[in-house]
Amino acid sequence: MDNTLKPQGTATLSVDARQDLTELENSMVNIIEIFHSYSGKNCKLKKGDLKELINSQLSTFVKIQDSQTLDVIFTDLDENHDQEIDFSEYAALIAMVTSACHKSFHED
């Protein structure tokens, strides 16, 4: 599937390029840009970065009550156990929270 889904023609993130994207594609680029604003240059989130991202960007949907909650989220996401969250692991978080959010909308 990797080859099938390889993005094509997405060389830039300029304002002009963003205008040519659909609403869904722009939402996906937002998700990438927000990750970059919290990750270091190595594109990884340490536990403190993840906490800041969740508290600043996901506070309506995810409540971190205490450090234990953060530990559970971090450990669950860190699939390769390198004590950092890479983009794929972050994308899995976004997918999980969005799915939980979708379920919640239908329950309300």
Give me the residues that bind a copy of itself (CB under 8 A), please.
1-2, 4-13, 20-32, 34-35, 43, 56-63, 69, 72-73, 76, 87-88, 91-92, 94-106, 108
Write down the least CB distance from residue 80 to a copy of itself, Å: 14
**CA 108 – CA 104 distance, rounded (Å):** 6
Write down the least CB distance from residue 77 to a copy of itself, Å: 9
Closer by beta carbon to a copy of itself, 27 or else 80: 27
In the chain the first and final C-alpha atoms are separated, in Å, by 36
Of the candidates 49, 56, 61, the one whose C-alpha atom is nearest the C-alpha of residue 85 is 49
CB 31 within 8 A of CB 94: yes
Write down the least CB distance from residue 83 to a copy of itself, Å: 18
Residues counted in the chain:
108
